[in-house]
Amino acid sequence: MSKPYPLLFRPAFKSRIWGGSRLSGWFSGVPQDEKIGEAWVLSDHKEGESPIANGPYQGEVLHEVMQKEPAWFVSAKEHAMPDGRFPLLIKVIDAADDLSVQVHPDDAYGYKHAGEQGKTECWWVLAADEDSQIVYGHNAKDASDFRQHVEDERWDDLLKRVCVNVGDFYFVPSGKLHALGKGIMVMEIQQSSDTTYRVYDYNRIDKDGNHRQLHLEDAIAVTQYPDSPIPVDKQTIPMHGVKAHRMVSCPYFTVDHWSVNGTVNLTDTALKILSVIHGSAKVDTVDGTSSASVSRGEQVLLPDGLEASLSGNFDCLVTSLPTRR
C-alpha cells in the first residue's frame, strides 16, 4: 500500500450541440474546432474518464487506483457502482445555447431501464449572462396533465423558469424536470450516470440534419408529480479560519461551500473532493511528501487517511460521501 496523496485530473471534453467556447478560458487542451459544452473534470464514467494528472498514478483512471489502493477509498465503498467505479462525476458546463428540457431517473429505474444508476445532481452557477434563466420544475398536476401539455406544446404553461445569478446554488434530485438556459456556466456535482430523458429540444437540428431523440415515455414515468419547490437550506458550519456553509446533504453526496484566505488544517481525513470555483489553492500533506496546486475549475481528490492543509485565497466546493448507515 502506498501513501495517499492529493489526486489531480485531466478533463475529458464533450462536444454538444448547445456548447460554446468559454471553457477555453478555464482549461488548456480544449478542442477549438467543436462546440465544447462539458468538461468532465472528475470522472470515472466509461463514457468519459478523466485521467489522474500527477504523482505515481499519473495517467491511470480512478477505478484502477481504487483496486490498487482500497484503503484510500473506504468512504466510497458503500456508494461504489456494481462494477466498482467511483460513484460521483463532476463537470463544468458551458451552455452557449439552451439545453434540452430533461429529467433523470432514480437508481431503481436507471438500473432497470438504462443499466446504470440514477442521477441526482446539483449546480453552482459560475457565470450567467444578464437575465439568464433555468427551467426548474413544471406546473402539471399529474402524469396525464403533463402529457397533454407536451402534446399540445404548451411549454410556457408547463415549464417553471427561474432567473439565475453567479453564486446561486440549485439541487436537482432525480425526477425534477430541469434545463440550463443560454448564457450560463455551472459546476455540476452528480451521481456518475449519463442517463438523460429529453422532453423538449426546441426543435433543433443536429449536424447530420436530424432532430435529437426525445424520451417522452421514460420522462413521464420518472418525473415527480406534482412538482415541489426545493429551497436551499444553507447552514453555517463552524470552522476555524474558514467561512463554511453546507449547501446540500442527500444520500449520494454532501456539498459544502468554503471561502478561504490563509491556511487551513484539515482535521477530518475522510475522502473529500475540492472543486475550486474562484482563485487558486495549494494542498500540502502534513508529512511534507506531496503538494498540489489547484486553479478555478480544477478538482483535487483527497483520499481517506490523508492529512493535509490548504492555503491561498479561494472559494471551493467540498464534496464528501455520506455514510448510509
Nearest to 200 by CA among 139, 128, 164, 151: 151
Catalytic residue among 198, 212, 296, 324: 198
Ramachandran sector of residue 112 (left: φ over 0; alpha: ψ -120 to 50; beta: rest): alpha
Instruction: For residue 198, indicate whether it is catalytic.
Output: yes
Q: Which residues of 91-107 are buried (b: 16+ CB within 10 A; e: fewer)?
A: bbbbbbbbbbbbbbbbb
Q: Is 140 exposed, middle or buried (0-12, 13-18, 19+ CB in 10 A)?
A: buried
What would the grid cell of residue 288 be? 511534507
Distance of CA 61 to the CA centre of its chain: 18
CB 254 within 8 A of CB 322: yes
Give 188-218 as a 3 state SS string. EEEECCCCCEEEECCCCECCCCCECCCCHHH
Q: Which residues are catalytic?
A: 198
